[in-house]
Chain A
């Protein structure tokens, strides 16, 4: 086994530390899964995650037993935490596919070391997100009525409803993301299969490797399939959150009924997605000593994307405020005033602080270079994006057309348990992933090495542009 090179200060735009060979890369990543002792911190993290999953199961069980009345929803606020969390999780689930697909098509080589776990994060976030629309229904056992299937009632879903579009958008996104992730894993599964020292590893990774032998034909088909999936996934990155935003934009609730929602939601999703990738990448690379692969350059790039999308989101808030004045629509104006000065004004201003003011620090290179400051900012942005959805969903609903029906909303302990429970589910899945699957794509990292250039077509040097 080759030794990983000693830590050395890395340059600004290095996306893989110098001195690595094919062997060291393979070793460094695969040993995390196969031979290295599982770190104590892994057990600690997994235990926390698993305990929270138990909280989740408790919250779901009681919900199914008693009904959505255990939550804080009421008239007029028919959607509360469930939809806030759904949109939040779906938003987080955007970065993975964006990094994998769009950056692949744009030939951004720096995506290589972060795409695998960003994709995994996407899948887990979508899994958490998917729970909420199911559970928020009054009668979740009839969820399949939202899908078109032949039935004796001869009824189809009502295709004009954005919720039906949602079903298609989210399930398509989940399917394609899963496929994309899995296809990308196949060559690495074969590597792990071949390096497995025990029966379990050979069977487990062998089945997942689907007979991969690394032949030229395999590689050819792999590249083609991966590129096609990337092409397929790219519009989905935009479409999912666009459709999610239609849930609001198509309605007539003041604060929901606005045409800016699709781009504004997509930008917000990428914003929160990258914030979550940074939130995970900083501790992970520390925990497993992966600074060679997830370099400061990666963090710097992600911070820049966060800044850009943060500015787009800030523009969105500005346009909402402008339109409230410019449209001369009294209901729209009342909504804005309610957001900035209503009973829950602090929600709105905290959101502005988190999503508009805080990311301005990212203009400074020193902030982008300081990983823990970046980590803190990413968490602030995650909180801000959750508040944004809360402000959109809850505050808009709480005061609409007839003041007689104005009301308020607050999540109950069951709302919080379900939300924190999904955080636990996310953590649990993530810890299982980093323990059993290579969190960084081994074979793609190898293509970043200068040696890979000998293959001519398939790869290029780290400092040169090249296609995958």
Chain B
């Protein structure tokens, strides 16, 4: 008879753990359990024979953890009363003196010569090679019930909610797979219809949709783990195909001699960007070291036939492209962002960080198929096959068919709201629901929005997201703890978009003001919150927010520090320096004079000529 027992969340239970150096820590619950549930210690205790260590014996979860530490606390604390030891460990966060001694391992000689360490001989079997890899989102399936990770488009494929058999265009052709863009839903921005293939490893078979990835090795198939779970919870259950069914113990990460057969079944996959090419537009700009040496302003050359002067165009522009006089001077803070495309690896952590920070709803596969995902920040992915080194400004897709791509490159471009100074969205809103803040952010007033979607149409960057249905969950009580209390949960029928994490700006401002008040007692020279530029707000001196004190959620999560946020009016700020950098360019600005507050820094590569010659 199957038994089910609801387990407590790790934030609800008493436990303990060890850090990488062996230091032990005791974990206290952060909240009382929301539901009737049992902690891991209780469950293990219940199946442990009575009388032995850790058996349940009606003890509370805390007593179970204490029981271990009563018996196993470090010898140095033996003289302390147990309650004192316990209180000290909880207070300090670590159990003192539990760090393990450093071990110096001896080298094993001839390890790589051993037969079991040899790579498998090239398969003599006819057939495909199959690689099993953890899914970039749900990993081995442990995160399968996490809606954020399910809806998050995978970096290269831009797929969400499913796994697929990834293969190169040539292999797909051989297998007879022809994906097509769906006609009745979101098309390129949502629905791709592809064939299901049957993978046969030995006697085991698995049916899984095929997905064509330019740049994938030929005659090989990659299959992500973590899908096909039957009991993963209501978000993750029965999604995708279970790769474990064709994995073999002797080679867990790959299989050879695999047969791939196309079936007649066609399925819809939620792909958020099925259009691969930049269409020759100067969207992601990149160049080589040589390009940079010839003209360090090479990224901006795509904007103008002449080489632009320092600081022309864009938010930091000294020369406006417009004949009209500046309508507003930003005398206080002037928030801006810079994104270094050379540093961006397209991992997509920022997308999920943004979603968590800003209470962005998960809409589900059906809505993604309709092209309605809500991510405020997305990472555009383009494939390019040819680098135009002579003009140096961009990469272009020269091949009409994906199968003909050579010298394939992948470009990533994180795209948040550009907070244009001349924002096309603001002009067309009939009720002034989107308006410019006096610090230059393009703000969205949810309460005022009536949902005409005109702003979305007029946004050339297409970063605005509309609540077509009631996506925000007001009802599920357990989700209340999920939301960021500083950010509104939106209702249906309103538009939303990136705010530059305005709640974090507000937080930093309040903290700075509090410190400024505290400093009033100090002599003026010791005050650190005095604005170095003497700026005022409505006649009052502003409390200085130092560079780096406002960190947007995407910036905080970026592993390569590709995203920088700060005050463009602060001459010493990092973001200001990047806006003044020679590699910066503003997306579509030369065409539309939107004057974005987000600067992109073109990536500069130093390709190995020997590899290039290949």
Q: Which A residues are within 8 Å of any B CB, using their own CB?
A: 66-69, 72-79, 136-140, 142-143, 145-146, 155-158, 160-164, 167, 247, 250-253, 330-331, 334, 343, 397-398, 400-410
B145 sits at the interface (CB 8 A)? no
Expressed in whole angstroms, the minimum distance between the Cβ of B4 and any Cβ of chain A is: 35
Q: Show 30 A/B contacts (Cβ-Cβ < 8 Å), sorted by A.
A: A67-B470, A72-B185, A72-B370, A74-B185, A74-B186, A75-B464, A75-B466, A76-B456, A78-B466, A79-B457, A138-B467, A139-B450, A139-B451, A143-B450, A155-B431, A157-B430, A158-B431, A247-B454, A397-B457, A398-B187, A402-B461, A403-B283, A404-B273, A404-B415, A405-B189, A406-B187, A406-B189, A407-B187, A408-B183, A408-B187
The 6 A-B residue pairs whose C-beta atoms are closest, nearest first, are: A138-B451, A408-B187, A138-B493, A407-B189, A69-B468, A69-B469
B458-A251 in contact (CB<8A): yes
| Cα distance, A146 to B429, chains bound together (Å) | 10
Residues of B within 8 A of A251 (CB): 424, 428, 454, 457-458
Complex: how many Å from CA A450 to CA B37? Answer: 97
Chain B residues, Cβ within 8 Å of A253:
457-458
Contact of B428 among A72, A73, A163, A398 (CB under 8 A): A163
Cβ-closest chain A residue relative to B378: A404
Select one of A75, A136, A146, A331 contacting B430, CB under 8 A: A146
* Complexed CA–CA distance, A90 and B449 (Å): 25
Contact of A75 with B428 at beta-carbon distance under 8 Å, contacts A138-B451, A330-B281, A402-B461 already known: no
Bound CA–CA A229/B429 (angstroms): 33
- B369 CB to nearest chain A CB (Å): 10
Known contacts A66-B469, A403-B382, then 4 further A-B pairs from the complex at CB < 8 Å, ordered by chain A residue: A67-B469, A75-B371, A139-B451, A407-B371
> How distant is the Cα of A142 from the Cα of B448 in the complex, in angstroms?
9
Assess A252 versus B452: contact at CB under 8 Å? Given A69-B372, A139-B493: no
With A139-B493, A334-B279, A343-B187 as contacts: A78 and B181 at CB distance below 8 Å: no
Task: Decide: B275 and A157 in contact? CB cutoff 8 A.
Answer: no
**With A78-B453, A331-B591 in contact, is A405–B462 under 8 Å at CB?**
yes
Interface assignment of B437: CB less than 8 Å from any CB of chain A? no
- The interface centre, meaning the residue of A75, A164, A330, A407 with most chain B CB atoms within 10 A of its CB, is A75
A138 touches B453 (CB 8 A): yes
Residues in B with CB closer than 8 Å to A334 are 279
The DSSP consensus for interface residues of chain B is loop
Q: In whole Å, how far is B358's beta carbon from the nearest beta carbon of chain A?
A: 17
- Cα(A76)–Cα(B277), bound, Å: 17
Q: B493 contacts which chain A residues (CB < 8 A)?
A: 67-68, 137-139
User: Considering only CB atoms, which chain B residue lies closest to A166 in the complex?
Assistant: B430
Nearest opposing residue in chain A for B588, CB measure:
A401
Q: A68-B493, A343-B181, A343-B183 are in contact. Are A407 and B450 (CB under 8 A)?
A: no
Q: Are A137 and B451 in contact (CB under 8 A)?
A: yes
> How many angstroms between the C-alpha atoms of A152 and B558 in the bound complex?
44
Contact check, A158 vs B430: say whether CB atoms are below 8 A apart.
yes
CA distance A402 to B280 in the complex (A): 11
Specify which chain A residues have a CB less than 8 angstroms from the CB of B456 in the assembled complex. 75-76, 78
- Nearest CB in chain B to that of A408: its residue: B187
* Nearest A residue to B467, CB-CB: A138
Q: Select A146's contact among B190, B380, B431, B495, beta carbons within 8 Å.
A: B431
Can you name the residue of chain A whose Cβ is closest to the Cβ of B187? A408
A138 near B454 (CB under 8 angstroms)? no
Which residues of chain A are within 8 angstroms of B281 by Cβ–Cβ distance? 330, 401-403
Q: Does B494 make an interface contact (CB < 8 A)?
A: yes
Q: Which residues of B contact A401 (CB under 8 A)?
A: 281, 460-462, 588, 591-592
Nearest-Cβ distance from residue A245 to partner chain B, whole angstroms: 14
Any A CB within 8 A of the CB of B432:
yes
Measured CA separation A77–B591 after assembly (Å): 22
Task: List the A side residues contacting B588 at CB < 8 Å.
Answer: 401-402
Residue of B whose beta carbon sits closest to that of A144: B450
Are A78 and B457 in contact, CB atoms less than 8 angstroms apart?
yes
Cβ of B381 under 8 Å from chain A:
yes
What chain B residues lie within 8 Å of A406 (beta carbons)?
Answer: 187-189, 275
Query: B450 to chain A: which residues have CB within 8 Å?
Result: 137-140, 142-143, 145-146
Contacts A75-B189, A251-B428, A410-B185 hold; do A139 and B494 have CB atoms under 8 A apart?
Answer: yes
Q: How far is the CB of B245 from chain A (nearest CB, A)?
A: 35
Please measure, in the bound complex, the distance between the C-alpha atom of A197 and the C-alpha atom of B469, giving whole angstroms.
Answer: 55
Choice from B181, B380, B424, B453 contacting A73 with Cβ under 8 Å: B453
Contact of B190 among A140, A163, A404, A407 (CB under 8 A): A407
Cβ-defined contact, A76 with B462, below 8 A: yes
CA distance A398 to B181 in the complex (A): 14
> Judging by beta carbons under 8 Å apart, are B451 and A68 in contact?
yes
Instruction: Check: B584 CB closer than 8 A to any chain A CB.
Output: no
**Known contacts A75-B371, A139-B450, A145-B450; is-contact A158 B189 (Cβ 8 Å):** no
Alpha-carbon separation in the docked complex, A253 to B275 (Å): 19
Would you give the shortest CB distance from A388 to chain B, in whole angstroms?
Answer: 18
A146 → chain B closest CB, angstroms: 5
- Given known pairs A78-B453, A400-B460, the reply for A158 and B467 (CB within 8 Å) is no
B470 to chain A minimum Cβ distance, whole angstroms, is 7
